[in-house]
């Protein structure tokens, strides 16, 4: 990596002794921290389009969320590979880690919780048709959680890389599909139609899968079920906070991307992920 040289525990101890416990203050070029984090590039990405002081907070918060979307995508892909390898322990740990990522992602809404319609209106028109609906990474996150929709890939047709990734994600198993396939291989009575199906189509809840989760909760895979439940809860929290941020900053006005805004988000909230994990609780 540019400007970064690896250091061992012994190297660090020797440097601390030489510095008499003080931080190193002299470097031949940019600091190793700046090289690693890419701070110069990162801070050049905040290009506001108005002079409204509130716009920078809106832009930075949105960019932070995009970084978390990319992190979640990477982690859930890893969890799928671990499930494909029948390593439930590793997959559970990965999914639980993403619950914490989601907690931080959801907390980012606090940076916009003060935004009033008057403040948002100062820069909203300048955003044109730009809308969070158009986030390819968020759409990928939804696809991995099982909220599939071919129509929602269409805004990205002019971006070949993003479009190809989304079409691949649309056709591939979601995280829930990977979990069900793992449970079937582990000997649970997951029905064949829940495993061998068109992954681009909406998942249809099954009483047999519901019964499988009741069984899972009585065995060693219960931590996997709970990790998924916690993840589903965090995703619901994300959608609710998004809804409330929109309600607070623009009320019931139409969305920038052409949707009805608030009412469209309310309808989207009704689409549940991991459905049998919730309904199975009634049978326990």
Q: Which two tokens stand for residue 124?
A: 């909203």
Between CA 247 and CA 254 the distance in angstroms is 11
Would the annotation count 157 as a binding residue? no
The answer to whether the CB of 65 falls within 8 A of the CB of 105 is yes
Between CA 169 and CA 143 the distance in angstroms is 6
The answer to whether the CB of 238 falls within 8 A of the CB of 106 is yes
Would the annotation count 242 as a binding residue? yes
Between CA 259 and CA 265 the distance in angstroms is 9
Between CA 255 and CA 270 the distance in angstroms is 19
Between CA 255 and CA 74 the distance in angstroms is 29
Between CA 31 and CA 204 the distance in angstroms is 53
| DSSP SS3 for 131 | coil
Between CA 173 and CA 203 the distance in angstroms is 11
The annotation places the binding site for heme at: 242
The annotation places the binding site at: 124, 242
The annotation places the binding site for substrate at: 124
């Amino acid at each position: 990596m540019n400007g970064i040289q690896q250091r061992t525990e012994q190297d660090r101890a020797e440097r601390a002794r030489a510095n008499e416990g003080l931080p190193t203050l002299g470097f031949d070029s940019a600091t190793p921290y700046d090289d690693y984090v890419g701070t110069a590039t990162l801070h050049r990405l905040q290009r506001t389009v108005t002079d409204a002081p509130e716009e920078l907070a809106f832009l930075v918060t949105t960019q932070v969320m995009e970084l978390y979307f990319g992190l979640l995508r990477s982690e859930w892909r890893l969890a799928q590979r671990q499930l494909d390898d029948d390593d439930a322990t590793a997959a559970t740990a990965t999914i639980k880690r993403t619950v914490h990522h989601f907690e931080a992602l959801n907390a980012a809404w606090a940076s916009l919780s003060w935004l009033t319609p008057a403040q948002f209106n100062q820069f909203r028109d300048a955003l044109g048709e730009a809308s969070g609906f158009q986030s390819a990474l968020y759409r990928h996150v939804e696809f991995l959680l099982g909220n599939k929709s071919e129509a929602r890939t269409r805004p990205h047709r002019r971006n070949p890389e993003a479009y190809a990734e989304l079409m691949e994600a649309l056709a591939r198993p979601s995280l829930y599909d990977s979990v069900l396939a793992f449970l079937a291989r582990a000997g649970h009575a997951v029905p064949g139609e829940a495993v061998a199906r068109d992954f681009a189509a909406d998942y249809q809840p099954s009483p047999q899968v519901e019964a499988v989760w009741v069984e899972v909760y009585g065995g060693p895979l219960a931590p996997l079920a709970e990790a998924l439940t916690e993840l589903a809860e965090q995703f619901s929290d994300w959608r609710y906070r998004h809804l409330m941020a929109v309600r607070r900053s623009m009320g019931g006005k139409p969305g920038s991307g052409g949707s009805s805004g608030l009412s469209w988000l309310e309808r989207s909230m009704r689409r549940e992920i991991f459905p049998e994990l919730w309904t199975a609780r009634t049978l326990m």
